[in-house]
Structure 1
Amino acid sequence: MGTHRYGTPARMGFRRLRALLAGALALGIGGSVTLAAWTDSDFATGTFGASVFVTESNVTKPYSASGTWSTNDVAPGGALVFTATAMSPGTVVYAPFAIRGKAASVAGEVVLGVPSVTSSGTGSADLGAALRYRVVRSASCDASAFTGTPAFVVGSDGAKPFTQGQAAGVVNPLAAATATLPGAPTQFCFEVTLPAGANSALQGQTATATWQFTATSSS
C-alpha cells in the first residue's frame, strides 16, 4: 500500500493551522492601531528684580547728619571745607567728609583713591607736591580724631604726599539702608599739613586736590 501523496490528514491539518497562524501574525503587524494619550501641563514662573545701590555725600563742617546731602558723582564733587587759603609752614587744617547709601540701597564698601592734583607751582617749588595728608574714619574732625588708636585710612605710619591713596588692607564699610531711610554714614576726617621748613618759593601758590571715593555693593 503506497504513501498518500499529500501526507496524512493530521499533517495536512497542521500545515493549514500554521498557515492560518502566519496569516494572523501578518495581519497583526500590518493592521496595528496607534492609540491617543491624554495630556496635561503644569507651569512655573519666576519674577526677578535688581537691588539698588546709590550713594550720597556730605561735606558740612562741622559734620551734621542734617546737613546737605548730595549725589556728588561727578568731579570735582563736594568741596571739602578746609580753612586753608593762607597756609604757612607748619599749618595743619582739617575737613570732614561723610558718605552713605540712599534709601533702599544695599550694603557696600568705600575705597579712597589717589587724589588728582593741580598746582600753580613746578619742580621743587610746587605746593601740591609739598603738602602732606592723613585720613581717618571718625565722627569728629579735628586734631583729636588723630590721637589714640584711630581707624586710619591713609597715613597710619605718617603723613603722605598726594601721590598716595588708601593703605592696603583698609576696609571702609558702608551700611545698608532701609526701604525708606538712608543708611548710617561712614565718616572720614582729612588732615592736610604744609610741613615746617617748606620752601619759601611756595609763597602765594595754590593747589587743588580731588579725591574719588569708589563705593561697591557687597550684595
Structure 2
Amino acid sequence: MTATPPASRPETFESQTRAHSRRRKIKAVVAAGTVLGIGAVATLATWNDSEFAQGLFGAGSYSVESSNNGESFGNHGSKNRAATLSFGDLNAANAAPGDEFAAEFWLRTTPESTYAGRITQINLVDDSAEGQYENFRDVEVWHVDEGSSCTTGTVQGTVVASGDHLGDLTSAINGGIPLSYKNEAAGDAVQLCFQATATDSETDGVPDLRSGVEARATWSIETESTHED
C-alpha cells in the first residue's frame, strides 16, 4: 500500500509576516539606492561654477570749433560753411589803395572732444580766389601770443603762413600749434590773425585797385588729434 504524502501545511501568519517584511526591506534598499543616486548627481553639479566678465570698447572723440570774434563758436567744417572773417569791408570792395586789413580767427576743441589736438597746416582752398584778389597782397597768418591782439601793423606772435596775394599762401607751421583739451568743456581758444594790404600802385604788372570790384579767398585750417601715452 502506497503511502500518501502528508498534505502541505498551510502558511502560518508568522511566515507571511517575515516574507512581507523582507520585501519591504528590499524595496526600501532599492528606493534608498535610487534616492542616493539622484543625490549624488546633484551634489556633483555644485562643484562647477562660472564667473563672467564684459569689456566695453569705443573710439574717442575729436572735434574742433571756430569763431571770427573769439566769443561765438560754431562748426565751420566745410568750404560751404566757412566762417566769414571780418576784414573791415574787404569783401564789400570798399577798400582804398594802401589800406591794411587784419581779421582774427579762433579755434578750440569742443566740449565733446576727448583728445587734445594741434593745428598742422593753413592752406588756400583750390580755386577759391576770386575777383581782384591779386590786388590784396602781402598776406600773412599769425599765431597770436596769448594776451595779444590781432591788429594791423605789429602783431605779437609768429607768422605761420604767408603769400604774395590772396591767391597764394604757403604754410610754415613747425611742430603744430597746440589745441588744449578739457574734460567735458571746450579747450582754450587759440587766436590766428589774417592780414593783407591793398595795392596803392601798379606792381609787377598788377593794375591798380579797381573801384567796385570784389576780392575773395577761402582758407582751410587743418588740425589733428594728439595723444600721449
Alignment TM-score, normalising by the size of structure 1: 0.66
Structure 2 contact 149–155 (Cα < 8 Å) conserved:
no
Cα–Cα, structure 1 residues 40 and 49, in superposed 2: closer, same or farther, change >3 Å?
A: same
Any runs of at least 4 consecutive aligned residues in structure 1 with deviations exceeding 6 A, and if so which? 38-42
Q: Deviations over 1:4-25 (max 9, x none)?
A: xxxxxxxxxxxxxxxxxxxxxx
**2:212 match:** 204
Instruction: Report the identity percentage.
Output: 24
Structural RMSD (CA): 2.4
Which amino acid is the alignment partner of residue 143 of structure 2? R
Structure 1 contact 98–188 (Cα < 8 Å) conserved:
yes
User: How far apart, in 1, do the equivalents of 2:135 and 2:177 lie?
Assistant: 27
Deviation at 1:152, TM superposition (A): 1.2
Higher gyration radius (CA): 2
Name the SS for the 1:178 alignment partner. Answer: coil
User: How far apart, in 2, do the equivalents of 1:216 and 1:50 lie?
Assistant: 15
Of the three residues 111, 116, 119, the one matched with 2:130 is 119
Cα–Cα, structure 1 residues 59 and 201, in superposed 2: closer, same or farther, change >3 Å?
A: closer
User: How far apart, in 1, do the equivalents of 2:217 and 2:199 lie?
Assistant: 17
Cα–Cα, structure 1 residues 171 and 160, in superposed 2: closer, same or farther, change >3 Å?
A: farther
Of the three residues 116, 140, 143, the one matched with 1:137 is 143
* Structure 1 segments unaligned to the other structure (5+ residues): 1-37, 121-126
**Does 1:172 find its partner at 2:181?**
no
**Does 1:82 find its partner at 2:91?**
no
- The number of equivalent residue pairs is 165
Cα–Cα, structure 1 residues 108 and 201, in superposed 2: closer, same or farther, change >3 Å?
A: closer
**1:23 match:** none
Structure 2 contact 62–225 (Cα < 8 Å) conserved:
yes
Cα–Cα, structure 1 residues 114 and 201, in superposed 2: closer, same or farther, change >3 Å?
A: closer
User: How far apart, in 2, do the equivalents of 1:184 and 1:168 lie?
Assistant: 19
User: How far apart, in 2, do the equivalents of 1:119 and 1:71 lie?
Assistant: 24
Q: Which has the higher strand share?
A: 2
Alignment TM-score, normalising by the size of structure 2: 0.63
Name the SS for the 1:88 alignment partner. Answer: coil
**1:19 match:** none
User: How far apart, in 2, do the equivalents of 1:43 and 1:166 lie?
Assistant: 54
**2:34 match:** none
